[in-house]
Amino acid sequence: MDSFRIEKNILVKYTGNETNVVIPEHVRAIGAQAFAFNTDIVSVVIPKGVVTIGERAFDNCQNLESVEIPKTVSLIEKNAFSSCKKLDNVIIPEGVPFIAAKTFYMCLSLKSVTLPASVTSINDEAFARCISLEEFAIGDEVIEIGEKAFMECYGLKNLAIGKGVEVIKWSTFAACRSLEKIAFSSSLREIEYGAFDNCPAITDVYFDEADDIWRQITVKPTRNETLLKATYHYDYTDSIVSVAAPTAVEEVLTEIVEEPIVTVDTPIVTEEEGALQTSFAIIDELPVVPTPVEEDEKTEEEEKVEEVEETEEVEELPTQVTLDVDLPVSPTETVEETVEKVEETVEETTEETTVVTLETPVVPVVPAPVQPPVKKSLIRTTPKSAQSTVTEEFKKEFYRSFLAKLGEEKVATYQAKAAEMTDELFETQSEALFLVPADDAYEFGCVCLCLGKYNWAFRSFLSAAGKGNLPAQFYVGACFLFGLDTTKKIVDAARWLTKCKKDEVFGEDAVKLLAIVDEELEKPENAGLKVKRGNK
């Protein structure tokens, strides 16, 4: 008993070094990290009466092989058994409503899991990297499977998904390299892109209805290629998961710990990216992050009553100012991306706008592609924003100067990739734009510049900027300052440009553009705007 620190029937901490631990009967809850990082424990008996197993309660108990969970347990919190690398069998008692995030993350020896009918959701990364799982049946009661819930389950071969699941999210089963057979139910409505990414062994898909019902399900082709190429079996109702416990896979525990895992990159959506995604129209396939409410801005509820406005380009500007800034350019004219139209129209702004003429280094120019008719872009207007009135000549100069800053060698590489870009490849890369790493999003943005797809270039750089890519941050800041392919927003321009002030390549120009920000803040129409200095 001296090894158990118990407060008000809650086991706060176990400090002993026994291999077989029996928790005292009067305990009613196991606290957070109560056994975490204890490498002596081999088995644990949890007494009847325990209701809760806290967060990270047995995290990194790397020699724990078995645990008895009583029927009284109704809540198992996240990471409760994560990295218990020798735990091989778990029976979840009836009454537990969900499998929390990372509950069994990296349980490398886990071969068998029994889920009760009470479980209705399996949360993010709940069984990720459980490499010894060979079969898994998700019952009809489960209505939601989280992102990356079974990612990198290398030994998983057979998978059955019950009638409650309607959407299989991105990366849910990514890198299940041995997955061969999958059974779906007709309740399924959508398989998101990347749900079965890097699953090269898929050979058979079983569906409990006819093929015409399957065709009504939305299956995103991006990173689900093997799934779509499999042999399909329709009106199939037999089980593909055996009743008996699955056999163990080859012993690969040591290698898996040593081997670096490289699969689907986790999208990191920063606060800046989340706030900026609403600054332009994002196609339905892209994930939208809720917009944080900034100081002095209207709330989301107030914005809902605002009319959606369409922006229209203004051909001429009343004034023009010359500034020595080594910015930009694009090799072709602007092509606005096609977005759905709205009924409301917008009044053109009549106020004067300061335009900057930029000195441009010589850079190779790609011949302009055949351009489709220009369509209006749907842009969501927000407080502290103004309509842009820049000329096409200024926009082209900006794009060209930006490419010039990158160097002729890199520009030549981007031009070559632009020449090889097919419609199918462009659709694939643009669809997963906010899911790829910063460098990939940045490269795609540069290719879009070479293609003359400037609106897509802005979206790509916005994605890269939110993940820390500095050239993209400079580009996005300048776009917000002048209203290029987005709404003119002085506060956001200052936020991004401030990050670039000390950069060797873009620092000097960033300082000059921040001087323009200060001039904009002096205008009467911008009274009340607050710009934070520093990194935030």
User: What is the percent of the chain where pLDDT is above 90?
Assistant: 42
Asked if 142 and 122 count as a contact pair (C-beta separation under 8 A), the reply is: yes
The residue-averaged pLDDT of 271-290 equals 35
In angstroms, the CA 483 to CA 488 distance is 4
Give tens-digit pLDDT for 445-482: 899 888 888 888 888 888 888 888 889 899 988 888 88
Side chain identity, residue 16: G
520, pLDDT greater than 50: yes
φ, ψ of residue 112 to 5 degrees: the values are -140, 130
**One-letter-per-residue 3-state SS of 144-170:** EECCCCCCCCCCCCEEEECCCCCEECC
User: Per-residue pLDDT for 300 more than 50?
Assistant: no
The mean of the pLDDT values for the chain is 76
Residues 197/174, Cβ–Cβ less than 8 Å? yes
Neighbours of 340 (CB within 10 A): 9
Nearest to 221 by CA among 204, 185, 196: 196
Provide the pairing of β-strand 75-76 with 98-99.
unpaired
User: Would the pLDDT of 370 be above 80?
Assistant: no
**What Å distances lie between residue 157 and 83, 136, 224, 386, 524, CA to CA?**
22, 9, 17, 55, 66
- Determine the pLDDT at residue 352: 41
Compare 413 and 330 and report the one with higher pLDDT.
413
Average of per-residue pLDDT across 300-304: 44
| Residue 60 and residue 40 in contact, taking contact as beta carbons nearer than 8 Å | no
pLDDT digits (tens, 9 = 90+) for 375-420: 333 333 333 344 456 777 787 788 888 888 888 888 888 988 888 8
Task: Compute the distance between CA of residue 444 and CA of residue 459 in angstroms, rounded to an integer.
Answer: 10
Chain centroid, CA 163 distance in Å: 27
The band of 335, judged by pLDDT with boundaries at 50, 70 and 90, is very low
Span 409-433, mean pLDDT?
Answer: 84
| Predicted confidence (pLDDT) per residue in 79-107, tens digit | 999 999 999 999 999 999 999 999 999 99
pLDDT category of residue 349 using cuts at 50, 70 and 90? very low
Q: What is the pLDDT of residue 531?
A: 65
pLDDT at 206: 95
What average pLDDT does range 258-287 have in this prediction?
37
What confidence tier does 320 reach under pLDDT thresholds 50, 70, 90? very low
Question: What's the one-letter identity of residue 109?
Answer: S
Question: Which comes out higher in pLDDT, residue 372 or 504?
Answer: 504
Residue with tokens 């068998």: 112
* 73 band by pLDDT with thresholds 50, 70 and 90: very high
Please state the rounded mean pLDDT for residues 292-302: 42
* Helices and strands, number each (H, E), in the chain: 13, 25
Rounded to 5°, angle at Cα 22 from 18 and 24: 120
Helix, coil or strand: residue 473: helix
- Report d(CA 293, CA 76) in Å as an integer: 34
Q: What strands lie across the sheet with 4-7, from one edge to the other? A: 4-7, 10-14, 29-30, 52-53, 75-76
- How many other CB atoms are there within 10 angstroms of residue 440's CB atom? 19
- pLDDT at residue number 532: 57
Q: Which of 122-136, 209-223, 432-446 has the lowest mean pLDDT?
A: 432-446
Find the range with the poorest average confidence among 50-64, 380-394, 513-527. Answer: 380-394
What domains sit in the chain, N to C, each tagged with a CATH number?
Answer: 303-526 (1.25.40.10)
* Region of residue 155 (left: phi > 0; alpha: psi -120 to 50; beta: else): alpha
Looking at residue 73, its amino acid is: V
pLDDT band at 177 (very low <50, low <70, confident <90, very high): very high
Q: Which of 211-225, 321-335, 477-491 shows the highest mean pLDDT?
A: 211-225
What integer pLDDT is reported at residue 463 of this predicted model?
Answer: 83
Residue 528's pLDDT is 66
Q: What is the CA radius of gyration of the chain?
A: 28
Burial-class residue 436 by CB neighbours within 10 Å (0-12, 13-18, 19+).
buried
CA proximity to 27, closest of 41, 7, 42: 7
Residue 338's pLDDT is 36
- Does pTM surpass 0.85? no
* pLDDT confidence tier of residue 291, bands split at 50, 70 and 90: very low
Q: Which residue has the higher pLDDT, 258 or 422?
A: 422
Query: Distance (Å, rounded) from C-alpha 50 to C-alpha 27?
Result: 6
- Model confidence band, residue 323 (pLDDT cutoffs 50, 70, 90): very low
pLDDT in tens, 23-34: 999 999 999 999
